[in-house]
Amino acid sequence: MKIAIASGKGGTGKTTVSTNIASYLAETEKVVLVDLDVEEPNSKLFIKADLYNKEDKFKMIPQWNQNLCTLCGICQEVCNYNSVIQAGNTIMVFSELCHSCYACSELCPTEALPMIPVKMGELTHYKNNNLDFIESRLEIGQELAVPLIAQTIDYVNNLFTDDFIKLYDSPPGTSCPVIEVTKDADFVILVTEPTPFGLNDLKLAIETMQELQKQFGVIINRDGLGDAEVENYCIKNKIPIIAKIPNSKEIAHYYSRGMLIYKQVSEFKEQMEKVKRYIINSMRGVLK
C-alpha cells in the first residue's frame, strides 16, 4: 500500500500529517515513511530513530575525452537540454541540466563522451521499532529532483513489500517532482488550508490527481482559520474530507519545536485516528 501526501500549496501541513500519521500507525502496523521533498526535506526533524543505512545517490553524466573527440558536433546537436555545448574546440558539459538520456554518449561516433557518475544527493535510512524512515536530500546546485526521487522510490520498493504501509511525503506544487511521487501511489492525501490561496492550489492539485486518475481525499489543516469555501468545494464535488485539524496556536508551537503533536494534543490525535481508519479501510479495499 502506497500513499502519497501532497498539497499544491506549500506549508499547508504535509510534513505534520506525514510524520504524525506515520508514527501513530507504527504503533500497530508496519510503516515506511519516505521524505521525497528532496529539495527541502524536514520530516527527520520530527522522527526519532536510529541510523540504519546511508548511501550517496548518483546520476550519470557524460565526460568529455579530448583525445578521442573529433569536434564533429553531434553531441551538441542531439542534446535537447543544452547541457552539452561546443565552444570553439572544447565540449562543455553542464551536469545540473543533464537528464542522463545517454544520447550524446551513445551517438558519439568516437566514444569521446563516456558516462560517469556524479553525486546528486544522499539517501539516509533510519529505523525505530515498526517504523522505517527514509529521506533523500538533493545537493544544493543540482536542479533536477526527479532522478533522486525515482531512485529513492526504487530503494523503498526493493526493500519493502506492499504489505507495508508506505507513506510518501511529497514536495509542494503540481509539476514534475510531484508527478514522480504520486504516479507510484495507490492513493493520495491532499493537505490544504481553508484560505483563498489554499483553495486555489487545492483545485490545481485535484486537477493533477484527476489527470493521473488517482484516488484522493482531503485533509483540511488549520480548520477555523479562514472561511468555509474549501469545505463547500469538497462537499459540492463529492471529495472525501478525511480529517479536519483545528487551527491552534498550541499545535503550531509543538510543530515549531519539531515535536510530534498527536502525543501532546488530544484533539489532534482524534483527527489522526480518522486518518488511520481511512487508510486501513482503503487498504482492505485495495488488497481485496
Partner 1 sequence: MKEIVIISGKGGTGKTSVTSSFALLAGKNAIIADCDVDAADMHILMQPDYEIKEDFYSGELAVINPETCTQCGICADICRFDAISIINNKHVVEPLSCEGCGYCARVCPVNAIKNIDLKVGQYFISNIKTGTKMVHAKLGIGADNSGKLVANVKNEAKKLALKLNKEFILIDGSPGVGCPVTSSLSGAHFVVLVTEPTLSALHDLKRVYVLVKKFNIKAACIINKWDINTAVSSEIKDFLKKEGILHIADLNYDEAFTKAMIQGKAIVEIEDSEVGKILKESWETIKKNIS
- Residues forming contacts to partner 1 in the complex (CB under 8 A) are 8-12, 15, 39-40, 42, 45, 78, 80-81, 99-103, 106-107, 138, 140-145, 171-177, 179, 183, 195-197, 200-201, 204, 207-208, 211-212, 225-227, 249, 252-253, 255-258
Report in angstroms how near the CB of residue 287 gets to partner 1 at its nearest: 25
Report in angstroms how near the CB of residue 50 gets to partner 1 at its nearest: 20
Report in angstroms how near the CB of residue 176 gets to partner 1 at its nearest: 5
Report in angstroms how near the CB of residue 88 gets to partner 1 at its nearest: 24
Rounded to whole angstroms, the Cα distance separating 264 from 101 reads 49
Q: Which is nearer to partner 1, 239 or 280 (CB)?
A: 239
Looking at the DSSP bridge assignments, the partners of residue 135 are 35, 124
Q: Which is nearer to partner 1, 43 or 278 (CB)?
A: 43
Rounded to whole angstroms, the Cα distance separating 4 from 189 reads 6
Report in angstroms how near the CB of residue 36 gets to partner 1 at its nearest: 12
Q: Which is nearer to partner 1, 91 or 283 (CB)?
A: 91
The set of cell numbers assigned to 130 is 515498526
Q: Which is nearer to partner 1, 102 or 233 (CB)?
A: 102
Q: Which is nearer to partner 1, 177 or 279 (CB)?
A: 177
Q: Which is nearer to partner 1, 78 or 85 (CB)?
A: 78
Report in angstroms how near the CB of residue 9 gets to partner 1 at its nearest: 5
* Residues 6 or more apart in contact with residue 191 via CB below 8 angstroms: 5, 6, 7, 12, 13, 14, 16, 17, 218, 219, 221
Report in angstroms how near the CB of residue 40 gets to partner 1 at its nearest: 4
Q: Which is nearer to partner 1, 103 or 279 (CB)?
A: 103
